[in-house]
A and B are shown apart, each in its own frame.
Chain A
């Protein structure tokens, strides 16, 4: 049953990784604006790319 020590260690480590990822997302402002991206995705890209190029 000693395997439990290892398994718990793994699970806690994994969970900590996710927590760190959340902290990073929060700090880098990914959760600051949760509404605008939902509108942005509905807008099409330029239909006819500008002639000059």
Chain B
């Protein structure tokens, strides 16, 4: 007779077999049996957060920086509803999460019991799949299946709802099936013919561009390696979405910077004028495309994606290749190499003119800003932060808003998995807990949350978590006293009616740091900025850095609503030069 285990024991057996080392969670009545079992499993470390949303974002930061699924453990009712924002965030940005939630005992389900909610009902639209385990004999199978669903294909969050009586009930434990590898392969649905067709397009292109996205990061470090080889082999220019930053080195000459609403002039114009557009692991998000009708009007479009439903969803493409980015690009690289053996002619000369055009766009220097000796410009602050941390293997998270865009524009990433930001859902309050998760996964590395003062207040309490586990995260707040992006839109779109976007009362972040038991640093003078940043980097422990910046700075360049890529508003230098200030604004 095999040994019978309780539901709580089975949960941990599964976590051990799935090689889980960290879980982020918060206890409560309906998960107490699982928490009771925690002590018997020393290989699994639990990180106690201060709010379940924080657990979710921390698990996201953990997953995105390590490539492993993040695991979350919460109680029923409010525990589950609090984690919904993080699950939705993970769903939008394709982050593998496994969330285990407690539920009231089976016989009480549906009776409006204390801390009961329809967890599987609430989370159905924001997970890849979810399960309510009503029979203890299903538990091990469901747990393993959950990890498989979360991590294969296009990754995403899953949730397992376990009633309290199931956590006590006993059953036999079943090991995971070994058929995993077959499933991974089944996501590759492309043929050599498609690869050949793409290679043919590559050789004919005169004005090509590669547009890569988060899919390259999700496919693992090998995908970034293959992408770099591909870009080198072809000599093509490459631009990246917000989520794809780091897959290709940000300081390389072939990299045009980020594209989209706040992308560079050269990247967006190249997207508009190109004759061949190769989308690798991106999804034609509305922040990228601008006006659909006028999106890259004269190009042949190729889309490489693991998710068939991403193809032709927004932009109709001419060649779709469904598969894992690593496999597809490696195949392309091999095919190119083979062809070159026959006749070594590359088409680099074909695209020389295209590069000349791109260099002309580059001369606009669209990320420029008017620096100041009196106040710290937020862009300058990010640039100094980059210069002082670029020689370390730094991990950066962000909140959402202007600071996020400035970080994306001015901080250059050379490796994948170093940049964690909430792109799809745009969750203010993501960065601080995400930094906690990143630091747990990489205890020796420098982890910085580039934050805004409004965003960071949404999940500020997680500083307490950072202090508890002595996680030396650096919260670099670009404090402009406004919800900056809201203020910018109100300035440009709503006749400067700054309705409720100014925080009349803000906490003293220095005192706040003291209250949490971490270090506070304040900077308001450009002359001291470097020294203070260095002080932050050198301090061994969590830091809240209150960087007072010019409150009226706007994030440029910007594509106004309903406009195509080639009608951008540029920064103040250019606006003065061309005297389009009034007209440019009217375009918005």
A binds B: no
A-side interface residues toward B, CB under 8 Å?
none
